[in-house]
Amino acid sequence: MAKATSYVSKTADEHGIIDWTEEENSTWQKLYARQVACIKNKACDEFTLGLEKLNLPEDRIPQLDEVSKVLLKETGWQCHQVPALIGFGEFFRLLSERKFPVATFIRTTEEFDYLQEPDIFHEIFGHCPLLTNPSFANFTQLYGEIGLNASKEDRVFLARLYWFTIEFGLLNTENGLRIYGGGILSSPGETLYAMHDESVIRKELDNAEQLVDVYRTPYRIDIMQPIYFMLNSIKELDKIGKLDLLALVEQAKKLGLHEPMFPPKEQVKQTAKAS
């Protein structure tokens, strides 16, 4: 999971305070204002409520302790400072301990609109509001516990579960389509695409058979997602958590992966250069 990165996380001082620059705080302010406007009537109610509880500063990057104070009160979670990228083992361990890994850097102006790596805006704005919700918080911890004890091969399948729920999950609610995945909620382009693009495939996710389908679905991190999976409510994460997730991984292994719904990365690069 850990790989090369051009970003370096900032280190907190002895009081747990990170010294952010004026430019970095300005980047947060612009990202926050843009995304709050973008997700209006698109984010799920649980996210909106969580965002209100966190009461994040709009004009500066929040200190991790500020966010942790609210999370600890609501669900026993806290933010945990990590380097820009960490390995699977450390990732699962932190989640199992109700510690959400937050890389303490923010994207540069050059990558303002799109960043493959999870920066502090993605982690705090995209994920932490829903960590105030018991169902989401409990499922995330359970996911960490299962991944911590899984084999290297099984972790690859489990990564797809995280991707299609916690990162890119949708809800099919009584009030229409809503977003709960942090990878969508922190991206204006993906927000509009996931909600409105007519080419997107949106599949239901509410039973074991459909979870096996998730495990068998390849994804790429550097493109708009061609497929999303929908719960009917955040509470359905409780039901998914009660399934034997590793046994379902074994079923997915036997059936094999679905054909990818996207071209190889090299082909996309060549096409982009030709256009």
Element (H, E) at 178: strand 176-179
- Please tell me which residue in 46, 122, 190, 233 is annotated as part of the active site: 122
Catalytic residue among 167, 187, 233, 236: 167
Give the total residue count for the chain. Answer: 275
258 is catalytic: no
**pLDDT of amino acid 270:** 39
CA distance 269 to 221: 14
* 32-36, 84-88, 100-104, 129-133: the lowest-pLDDT one: 84-88
Predicted local distance difference test score (pLDDT) of residue 268? 47
**Residue appearing with tokens 């995304």:** 35
Q: Alpha-carbon distance 134 to 208, whole Å?
A: 22
Tens digit of each residue's pLDDT (9 = 90 or more) over 247-267: 999 999 999 999 999 888 765
Report CA 35 to chain centroid distance, whole Å.
15
What is the reported pLDDT for 4? 65
Instruction: Look up 122 and say whether it is catalytic.
Output: yes
Among 46, 123, 127, 135, the one annotated catalytic: 127
The superfamily in CATH containing domain 22-255 is Aromatic amino acid hydroxylase (1.10.800.10)
Q: 242: buried, middle or exposed (CB in 10 Å: 19+, 13-18, 0-12)? A: exposed
pLDDT at 130 over 60: yes
What pLDDT shows up at residue 271? Answer: 36
Q: Distance between CA 85 and CA 6 in Å, rounded?
A: 10
Whether 15 is catalytic: no
In the set 186, 187, 233, 236, the catalytic residue is 186
pLDDT in tens, 95-124: 999 999 999 999 998 898 888 889 999 999
Relative orientation angle of helices 208-215 and 152-162, to the nearest 10 degrees = 110
Judge whether 266 counts as a catalytic residue. no
pTM of the predicted model as reported, rounded to 2 decimal places: 0.93
Each domain of the chain, given as residue ranges in start order, spans 22-255
